[in-house]
Amino acid sequence: MLTTTTTKVLEPGDLDAALAVLDREPVANAFVAARVQAAGLDPWRLGGEMWGWYADGHLESLCYAGANLVPICAGPEAVRAFADRARRAGRRCSSIVGPAAPTSALWSLLEPHWGPAREVRSHQPLMVTRTLPADVEPDPFVRRVRKGEMETILPACVAMFTEEVGVSPLAGDGGLLYQARVAELVGSGRSFARIEDGRVVFKAEIGAATDRACQIQGVWVAPEHRGRGLSVTGMAAVLRYALRDVAPVASLYVNDYNTAARAAYRRVGFVEDGAFMSVLF
């Protein structure tokens, strides 16, 4: 029996069906799920389109097409359909990111048209924890960043982003969008730091949050303070906030070559559960 498939841009009336797809993998999909829960499916509010792939009239897979291109619960047929749509539309994203298998398949189809990429990070372990570490004392000086501390936290955020991604977030629009994102995280109480003498020593954010899972991002220790174990005690402190106040599961993904970070995350109870992949332009 032939299966009838189709792809379309989802509309606000498709919200419940989209949320049902996202809820199949709540940890891996936390970033997109949080955006959809907050903004719905209107492209202007969402910051991009949500493409849906249907099989026999049922929504089976999604692809977020905004600043990032993110395949969601996408098998081979859905990936091919999303690649066709992306190729026709032309590249508008700054990265392709998502679970490693569908992201790799999507990039293999788009690379002849969009390549070369500035960098491909093909294996970024997805790490997950549901419990606080029993043998690590959280850093008592790590706290929520206050709304009046934007001038203090922003330079650390810029340094982290530049170090991690390889380009400054202040390029292009002068950093207006990036500053707005940092302000959003501070305002929502999801930015955390240890600040000494007016300078950030350690910082991290809960970048995405749903009632099922949250995703920690932007973990950074000032270079002159590295090697003191601050990432371990700092992460234990952030986890205390995340698991107590936000969601029952905390996750993050990390570059596979960053052995020091992976060791620190394991020290506070994270275990590897899958992998992401990022293609940076």
Q: What is the mean pLDDT of residues 98-112?
A: 98
Pairing of strands 95-99, 68-72: parallel
Per-residue pLDDT at 175 exceeds 90? no
pLDDT value of position 236: 98
Looking at residue 84, its pLDDT comes to: 98
How high is the pLDDT of residue 147?
95
Type of residue numbered 201: V
What is the C-alpha separation between 241 and 196, in angstroms, rounded? Answer: 20
Residue 228 sits at the vertex; the CA angle it makes with 225 and 232, to the nearest 5 degrees, is 110
Q: What are the φ/ψ torsions at residue 244 (nearest 5 degrees)?
A: -85, -40
Mean pLDDT, all residues of the chain:
96
The 10s digit of each residue's pLDDT in 197-248 is 999 999 999 999 999 999 999 999 999 999 999 999 999 999 999 999 999 9
| Confidence band, pLDDT 50/70/90 cuts, at residue 48 | very high
- Using CA atoms, how far apart are residues 40 and 174, in angstroms rounded to an integer? 28
What is the pLDDT confidence band of residue 190, given thresholds at 50, 70 and 90? very high
| Per-residue confidence (pLDDT) for residue 280, from 0 to 100 | 97
Share of the chain above pLDDT 90, in %: 95
* Torsional sign, CA 169, 174, 175, 177: negative
Task: Return the percentage of the chain with pLDDT > 70, whole number.
Answer: 99
Sign, Cα dihedral of 244, 189, 259, 152: negative
**What's the pLDDT at 3?**
72
pLDDT of residue 173: 82
Residue with tokens 């700092």: 234
- Is pTM beyond 0.75 here? yes
